[in-house]
Amino acid sequence: MAKHSLDKDKIKILLLEGVHQSAVDVFERAGYSNIEYHKASLGEDQLLESIKDAHFVGLRSRTQLTAQVLNHAEKLVAIGCFCIGTNQVDLSAAEKLGIPVFNAPFSNTRSVAELVLGEIIMLLRGIPQRNAQCHRGGWLKSANGSVEARGKTLGVVGYGHIGTQLGILAETLGMRVIFFDIEDKLPLGNASQVHSLNELLANADVVSLHVPETPSTKDMFAEAEFSKMRQGGFFINASRGTVVDIDALAQAIKSGHIAGAAVDVFPVEPKSNDDEFVSPLRGLDNVILTPHIGGSTAEAQENIGIEVAGKLAKYSDNGSTLSAVNFPEVSLAPHAGASRLLHIHQNRPGVLIKINQAFSEKGINIAAQYLQTTAEIGYVVMEVDSDQAQEALDELKQIEGTIRARVLF
Ligand SMILES: NC(=O)c1ccc[n+]([C@@H]2O[C@H](COP(=O)([O-])OP(=O)(O)OC[C@H]3O[C@@H](n4cnc5c(N)ncnc54)[C@H](O)[C@@H]3O)[C@@H](O)[C@H]2O)c1
Ligand SMILES: O=C(O)[C@H](O)COP(=O)(O)O
Q: How far apart are CA 336 and CA 383, in angstroms?
A: 10
Summary mean pLDDT of the chain? 96
pLDDT per position as a tens digit, 68-122: 999 999 999 999 999 999 999 999 999 999 999 999 999 999 999 999 999 999 9
Q: Name the pLDDT band for 63 (thresholds 50, 70, 90).
A: very high
Q: How far apart are CA 321 and CA 233, in angstroms?
A: 44
Task: For residue 250, give the 3-state DSSP assignment.
Answer: helix
Which tens digit of pLDDT belongs to each residue from 123-144?
Answer: 999 999 999 999 999 999 999 9
Ligand 2 binding pocket includes 402 (Cβ within 6 Å): no
Please check whether residue 160 is in contact with residue 138, taking contact to mean a CB–CB distance below 8 angstroms.
no
Nearest of 38, 108, 160, 155 to residue 264 by alpha carbon = 108
Tell me the DSSP string of 67-89: HHHHHH-TT--EEEESSS--TTB
- Check if 295 has its Cβ closer than 6 Å to any atom of ligand 2: yes
Rounded to the nearest whole angstrom, what is the distance from the C-alpha of residue 297 to the centroid of ligand 2?
A: 11
| Cβ of residue 103 lying under 6 Å from some atom of ligand 2 | no
Give pLDDT, residue 3.
47
At CA 102, angle to CA 295 and CA 181, rounded to 5?
Answer: 60
- Amino acid 83 reads C
Q: Give the residue among 115, 79, 83, 77 at the shortest CA–CA distance from 305.
A: 83
- Does 110 participate in catalysis according to the annotation? no
Ligand 2: centre distance to CA 88 (Å):
10
What pLDDT score does 7 carry? 87
Ligand number with the minimum distance to the CA of 213: 1
- Catalytic residue status for 292: yes
Q: Does residue 61 line the site of ligand 2, with CB under 6 A? A: yes
Atom 39, ligand 1: residue with shortest CA distance? 160
Handedness of CA 298, 300, 301, 307 (dihedral sign): positive
Beta-bridge partner residues of 40: none
Instruction: Please check the confidence at residue 409 and state whether its pLDDT lies above 90.
Output: no
**pLDDT tens-place string over residues 262-294:** 999 999 999 889 999 999 999 999 999 999 999
Nearest atom of ligand 2 to the alpha carbon of 86: 1
Mean pLDDT for 148-167 is 98
Query: Looking at residue 384, what is its pLDDT?
Result: 95
The pLDDT confidence band at residue 329, using thresholds 50, 70 and 90, is: very high
Query: Which residue did the predictor score with more confidence, 221 or 409?
Result: 221
Closest ligand to C-alpha of residue 113 is 1
- Give the 3-state DSSP-derived string for 117-185, with helices as H, strands as E and coil as C: HHHHHHHHCCHHHHHHHHHCCCCCCCCCCCCCCCCCEEEEECCCHHHHHHHHHHHHCCCEEEEECCCCC
- Residue pair 137/127 in contact by the 8 Å Cβ criterion: no
pLDDT value of residue 335: 76
Q: What is the DSSP letter of 378?
A: E
Q: Is the CB of 50 under 6 A from ligand 2?
A: no
- 283's CB contacts (< 8 A; 6+ apart) are none
Q: How confident is the model at residue 2 (pLDDT cuts 50, 70, 90)?
A: very low
311-330 average pLDDT score: 96
pLDDT in tens, 357-393: 999 999 999 998 999 999 999 999 999 999 999 999 9
Q: Percent of the chain at pLDDT above 90? A: 95
The Cβ-side half-sphere exposure at 159, using a 13 Å CA radius, reads 26
Query: Residue 304: nearest ligand to its CA?
Result: 2
Domains of the chain and any CATH numbers: 6-103+298-325 (3.40.50.720), 109-289 (3.40.50.720), 328-408 (3.30.70.260)
Between the CA of 19 and the centroid of ligand 2 the distance, in Å, is 11
Asked about 269 being catalytic, the answer comes back as yes
Residues in CB range of 145: below 8 A, 6 or more apart: 126, 232, 259
Sign of CA dihedral 18, 23, 29, 33: negative
Q: Distance between CA 218 and CA 269 in Å, rounded?
A: 16
The C-alpha atoms of residue 248 and residue 125 are separated, in whole angstroms, by 24
